[in-house]
Amino acid sequence: MKMLQYLTIVALVLVSFNLGAQEIYADATKVAKDAVENEKTEPTTEEIEKEEDAEKEDGDLMISGFVDGYYLFNFNGAGASPLLTSFTDYNNMFTLGMANVLFSKEGDKVGFVADLAWGPRAEAANGTGEGILTAAIKQLYMTYAASDAVTFTFGNFSTFVGYELIDAPGNVNYSTSYLFSNGPFYHTGLKADFAFSESFGAMLGIFNDTDSKFDFTGGKHIGAQLSASTGGLSAYLNFITGKEEERGDDDLMEYEIDLTATYDVSDNFMLGLNVAQYGTSMAGDDMGGFFGAALYSTITASETFALGLRAESFTFKGGDGGEDASVLALTASGNITIGNLRLIPEIRVDLADEADGFFFDDAEAPVGSLPALILAAVYSF
């Protein structure tokens, strides 16, 4: 009997040992298998870098835009001549501005912008008799960053010349200056931007006819820009030249030199400057142009209110045998921000010699001034 008990105990011990060994073996096998699987699925450093580069190249599709409109009261009368600058052409009526939608995608190396717009403001800025659908394209271009210092842009893009913008959200004054209205709005072609340092840059470009998506006149326009910034001061020196028209055997050549600058006096006070000269010539003769200078100031009183002031002197040059004519334009614009909505009450007075025939009243008699009150609304998203 004792022998039987002894054999039973020995058998139980052997069975327990065998089961424990199997469990240990199974655990060891699982650990080894998991290690192999992890080795197979764990990405390598090279794979991680490729994935990060792909994410940079892909980027996110961004959608933004704005809508705007205004009411302009002309103190000279509803039938009087309107302001001679862009986008505020209608007296004493509610007027639509522009509906703008911008699609953009920017990666580490490449990107694109498709900027579409509709409305009277869009037609005035983009419409050149090339079709309604073409006029809806405000910008359409692609970019390629060859390096940290060189970026190429190909397509149709807003001009680099001037202080003010086509887009109402980018301006503190709703009405535009004579300099802006008589300068180029956009270019179609190829340009290269060079970043020499954080403070200095340059641009060189070759374009079709100014303010055209096609090239109806033989030859190309050449544009260039130098930029510099230090502290609160930023400045841009711009130049563009090319053939404007073909008149028989002669060519009408044009050029523009333009300087823009901004200076942040403080967090709440900014000064701006725009000076430009434009000229045309044909067969050695001066065919006229313009010269102008505009001073800007923006006073930010709070997060919801800012005041924008502009004083501009502008002279149309008559060229050889012609007479010059000048105008002085003074503008004060309030900017009331309510969320994404900006209300712009604006008072503007343009002054000129009656003999120059700039402005006319309801009876079509020449007058020396055009006072106007504008209430504009701009919603950005």
Question: Tokens in use for 189?
Answer: 């072609």
pLDDT at residue number 4: 39
pLDDT above 60 for 16: no
What confidence tier does 3 reach under pLDDT thresholds 50, 70, 90?
Answer: very low
Q: What is the DSSP letter of 356?
A: G
Identify the three-state secondary structure at position 306: strand
* % of the chain residues with pLDDT over 90: 76
Q: Tell me the domain boundaries of the chain.
A: 1-42, 67-97+167-380
End-to-end Cα, the chain, rounded Å:
95
Q: Which residue, among 103, 179, 173, 181, has the nearest Cα to 138 in the 3D structure?
A: 103
Q: Using one digit for the tens of pLDDT, what is the confidence trace for 116-165?
A: 999 999 999 987 666 666 789 999 999 999 999 999 999 999 999 999 99
pLDDT at residue number 12: 38
pLDDT at residue number 325: 96
Q: Using one digit for the tens of pLDDT, what is the confidence trace for 216-246?
A: 888 899 999 999 999 999 999 999 999 988 7
The amino acid that residue 117 corresponds to is A
Mean local confidence (pLDDT), 325-350: 99
pLDDT at residue number 333: 99
In order, the DSSP letters of 192-259 are EEEESSSSEEEEEEEESSTT-SS--SSS-EEEEEEEEEETTEEEEEEEEEEEEEEETTEEEEEEEEEE
* % of the chain residues with pLDDT over 70: 83
Question: Tokens in use for 217?
Answer: 């006149």
CATH 2.60.120.10 fits 67-97+167-380, yes or no: no
pLDDT above 80 for 268: yes
Q: Where are the alpha helices (DSSP H) in the chain?
A: 2-41, 45-58, 120-126, 132-135, 178-182
pLDDT above 90 for 18: no
- Answer for the pair 327, 177: CB distance below 8 angstroms, yes or no: no
pLDDT at residue number 244: 86
pLDDT at residue number 6: 45
pLDDT above 60 for 10: no
Rounded to whole angstroms, how far apart are CA atoms 84 and 91? 12
Mean local confidence (pLDDT), 23-34: 47
Q: What is the DSSP letter of 1?
A: -
Q: Using one digit for the tens of pLDDT, what is the confidence trace for 172-191?
A: 999 999 999 999 999 999 99
pLDDT at residue number 246: 76
pLDDT above 80 for 34: no
Rounded to whole angstroms, how far apart are CA atoms 140 and 188? 9
The pTM of this model reads 0.84
pLDDT at residue number 216: 86
pLDDT at residue number 41: 52
Provide the mean pLDDT of the chain.
88
CA distance to 62, 100, 144, 204, per residue, from 111 (Å): 11, 20, 7, 19
The amino acid that residue 348 corresponds to is R
C-alpha torsion sign, points 26, 28, 34, 36: negative
